Amino acid sequence: MATIRMFDNFSCGVVYGIIAAGIIWLVFGQILSSNKKIGQLHRTLDTFSDSDKQNLTAAKIVRRSLFGTLGCIFWTVALIWAVYLLWCLGAALREICI
């Protein structure tokens, strides 16, 4: 009778793929939210929601846009590192599971 291994190549790849897709999805979501903040600098005040208009000043809009730019750069670098580390982990798992 054939024995069923807990982590054969297929199940190891499925678990790895789900984890890798989740990590990339989370980082990509952060990039998209930072990208939305970048565009606030060039929007008119009429397009902001009423809850944001109460304490909204020009300095706050510029600050949010700057933090959005820095956040977008940070999360893009984090995405590159995450893809590299996931690639290294995938190579290590291939060696272990084979």
> For 49-96, how does the pLDDT look when each residue is reduced to its tens digit (9 = 90+)?
655 566 777 788 888 889 989 999 999 999 999 999 988 888 887 777
pLDDT digits (tens, 9 = 90+) for 17-52: 898 899 999 999 999 988 888 877 777 666 656 555
Does residue 78 lie in a domain region? yes
Does residue 97 lie in a domain region? no
Concatenated DSSP letters for the chain? -PPPPTT-HHHHHHHHHHHHHHHHHHHHHHHHHHHHHHGGGGS-GGGS-HHHHTT--HHHHHHHHHHHHHHHHHHHHHHHHHHHHHHHHHHHHHHHH-
Domains: count for the chain: 1
**Range(s) of the domain holding residue 79:** 11-36+55-89
Does residue 24 lie in a domain region? yes
Does residue 81 lie in a domain region? yes
Q: What local confidence, expressed as pLDDT, does residue 75 receive?
A: 92
pTM over 0.75: no
